[in-house]
Amino acid sequence: MNADDPAVDEDLAQRDLVRRGYDELADTYAAERGSNENDVLLDRLRADAPPGRVFDAGCGDGESVLATLVDDRPVVGLDVSREQATRANAVPPGTVVQGDMTALPFADDTVAAVTAFYSIIHVPAAETPDVYEEFARVLRPGGVALVTTGTEDWAGRNDDWLAGGAPMEWDILGLERSTELLEAAGFEVYETVGVVDGLGDDERETRLVDADSDDAEKLFLFARLTS
């Protein structure tokens, strides 16, 4: 993509807005984002992934994934938000960095599994192929990726996210497009799980459902690196 392309500026602006949003709303997000669906998914990840290190992309404060897995496996994390990365470093000290999922600061073939809970949905759609290619690069053959996607394509912005006074943006790809991009990067999607996302809604809890349920708002995809 040409550096003079207006789309480049738009993507940079979106990444900066997401970074600032998670910096400013770190306390609010930690209070709102429950982890009650994570144990089932991470148990499956433990069973499916080969032995070795787990990398959490968009790790937030580390409580959703890193804190759950740190006693079982070596873990590393990355988050676009400096505040979130700083907090996450208290879980596995010194193993979380601030960075960009399109250019991971890890060597090739060095992790057994990658998780991306509610993080790729903030990446500009034009850059999502780069993210999946980076996941494939750092994973060892046979490694597993567990990522959150949409049930359908959707992009939008909330200028007062979680009633916290900071804006947030999403660029969510649905199942069909997400599967195409994962396959293009060398993955095989072998399981899809639906989720009702209760974030920011006091009247309901986040819960897992069948992928084809009408209640499913987002999806978790399990994908294995095959090439």
The segments of the chain whose pLDDT lies below 70 read 1-8, 34-37, 202-204
The residues near 51 (Cβ < 8 Å, ≥ 6 apart) are 73, 112
Q: Token digits for 115?
A: 């998780």
Handedness of CA 78, 82, 96, 117 (dihedral sign): negative
pLDDT digits (tens, 9 = 90+) for 90-118: 999 999 999 999 999 999 999 999 999 99
Query: Closest Cα to residue 40, out of 209, 218, 213?
Result: 209
Domain range summary for the chain, segments of one domain joined by +: 6-225
Burial of 105 from C-beta contacts in 10 A (0-12 / 13-18 / 19+): exposed
Burial of 43 from C-beta contacts in 10 A (0-12 / 13-18 / 19+): exposed
Q: How far apart are CA 161 and CA 142, in angstroms?
A: 38
CATH number, domain 6-225, options 2.60.40.150, 3.40.50.150, 2.40.100.10, 3.20.20.120: 3.40.50.150
Q: Which pTM was predicted?
A: 0.93
On whether the CB atoms of residues 128 and 95 are closer than 8 A, the answer is: no
Q: Token digits for 3?
A: 């550096």
